[in-house]
């Protein structure tokens, strides 16, 4: 088993352990509610009677339940402590996964560079042959044109934020689904997927400048005040305004052609950013984990087959419907003025 697979398995197991702790905490909280109800019931009984023995009995019952509440609160505190520790372990394994993935990507890049050099040597050889065999000129030119039909490379920058003080989203499943769907496409070698996890504001411009992406994909939480949720250093939520996102995209949009906001209530951000890039996608309201994962993975699958942004968007909506999820109308597509969605193709054969 590859090291990254081991890390991922451990990561998933620790998430399951965290879920079990959370479930146990919920059960203890239900017990607290039951004890309080019993105390209230005993108190009511005391107020309704003047019989000393009954009063004494109910008072003992109240004391017993109060002791049980104290014990339960202690259990809850212990569970919460374990949950914090488990969240830290999950975070540490995510860092290990990211580092291992970076090593894998580096090796893949080296392999790609080697293939490109081999390809260039082949082209040079063909050109030399042309000078000595003019009679074969037409045939060899056709072969060269076939060699040149290698789809140009694009980069998808996947930016994920899942603060510990927010409802936990299955962003790792979304990233995995996107990667798997891209690997099955016709032009999979033309798409490079880069990811940033636990996204902080300090990471955004660094990531944009470092990877010079064609597509920027935000995955995580959004607010109904047109904000995107980033993370602080301690893993808590940090709200970033629509205006800040628009300014960032405007200042970095030279090579960005699509911005995908896979976050709740992101329609306004997408519409504003569409003034500076060819196409944007945002959500008109909240969107569930399954719908977000299914829509985005199919969208990039269609892009990887060389389809236009318009067709990819419609196929992604169709896949959501095929899965029986009634959220196909939540994603919204915005196109820069003067362009048409059906004419925007992000992956296509290299220009001559």
Given pLDDT bands bounded at 50, 70 and 90, which one contains residue 153? confident
- Given a cut of 60, whether residue 150 has pLDDT beyond it is no
- pLDDT tens digit sequence for 321-342: 999 999 999 999 999 999 999 9
* CA–CA dist 96, 11 (Å, integer): 10
Residue 200 phi/psi, 5° resolution? Answer: -105, 160
- Given a cut of 70, whether residue 147 has pLDDT beyond it is no
CB 182 within 8 A of CB 301: yes
* CA–CA dist 207, 200 (Å, integer): 11
- pLDDT tens digit sequence for 210-241: 999 999 999 999 999 999 999 999 999 999 99
- Given a cut of 60, whether residue 282 has pLDDT beyond it is yes
* CA–CA dist 148, 84 (Å, integer): 54
Task: Calculate ∠ Cα 341-243-288, nearest 5°.
Answer: 60
- Given a cut of 50, whether residue 94 has pLDDT beyond it is yes
Output the pLDDT for position 37.
95
Output the pLDDT for position 129.
77
116's tokens = 């490109």
Given pLDDT bands bounded at 50, 70 and 90, which one contains residue 149? very low
Given pLDDT bands bounded at 50, 70 and 90, which one contains residue 41? very high
- For range 263-273, the mean pLDDT: 96
Output the pLDDT for position 144.
46
- Given a cut of 80, whether residue 151 has pLDDT beyond it is no
Given pLDDT bands bounded at 50, 70 and 90, which one contains residue 254? confident
CB 316 within 8 A of CB 308: no
As a whole number, the mean pLDDT across the chain is 91
**At 331, which helix (H) or strand (E)?**
strand 331-335
- For range 42-58, the mean pLDDT: 91
Alpha-carbon distance values, 245 to 24, 180, 211, 267 (Å): 39, 29, 18, 13
- Residue of 99, 104, 214, 239 lying closest to 163 (CA atoms): 239
pTM: 0.57
Q: Where are the beta strands (DSSP E) in 255-330?
A: 258-262, 279-283
- Given a cut of 80, whether residue 134 has pLDDT beyond it is no
- For range 28-35, the mean pLDDT: 93
- Residue of 180, 177, 218, 181 lying closest to 199 (CA atoms): 218
């Amino acid at each position: 088993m590859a090291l990254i697979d081991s890390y991922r398995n451990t990561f998933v197991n620790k998430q399951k352990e965290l879920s079990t702790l959370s479930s146990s905490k919920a059960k203890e909280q239900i017990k607290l509610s039951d004890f309080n109800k019993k105390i209230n019931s005993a108190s009511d009984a005391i107020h309704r009677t003047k019989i000393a023995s009954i009063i004494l009995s109910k008072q003992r019952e109240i004391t017993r339940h109060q002791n049980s509440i104290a014990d339960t609160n202690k259990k809850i505190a212990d569970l919460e402590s374990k949950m914090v520790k488990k969240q830290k372990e999950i975070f540490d394994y995510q860092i290990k996964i990211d580092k291992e993935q970076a090593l894998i990507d580096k090796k893949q890049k080296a392999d790609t560079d080697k293939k490109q050099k081999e390809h260039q040597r082949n082209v040079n050889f063909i050109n030399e042959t042309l000078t000595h065999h003019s009679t074969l000129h037409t045939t060899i030119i056709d072969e060269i044109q076939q060699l040149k039909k290698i789809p140009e490379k694009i980069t998808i920058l996947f930016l994920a934020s899942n603060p510990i003080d927010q409802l936990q989203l299955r962003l790792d499943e979304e990233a995995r689904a996107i990667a798997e769907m891209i690997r099955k496409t016709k032009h999979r070698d033309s798409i490079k997927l880069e990811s940033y996890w636990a996204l902080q504001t300090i990471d955004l411009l660094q990531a944009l400048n470092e990877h010079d992406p064609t597509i920027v994909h935000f995955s995580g939480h959004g607010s109904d005040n047109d904000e995107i949720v980033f993370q602080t250093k301690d893993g808590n939520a940090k709200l970033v305004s629509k205006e800040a996102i628009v300014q960032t995209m405007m200042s970095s949009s030279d090579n960005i052609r699509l911005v995908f906001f896979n976050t709740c209530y992101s329609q306004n951000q997408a519409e504003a950013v569409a003034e500076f890039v060819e196409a944007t996608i945002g959500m008109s309201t909240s969107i569930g984990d399954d719908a977000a994962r299914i829509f985005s993975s199919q969208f990039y699958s269609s892009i990887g087959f060389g389809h236009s942004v318009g067709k990819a968007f419609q196929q992604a909506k169709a896949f959501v419907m095929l899965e029986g999820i009634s959220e196909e109308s939540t994603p919204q597509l915005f196109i820069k003025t003067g362009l048409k969605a059906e004419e925007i193709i992000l992956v296509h054969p290299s220009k001559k």
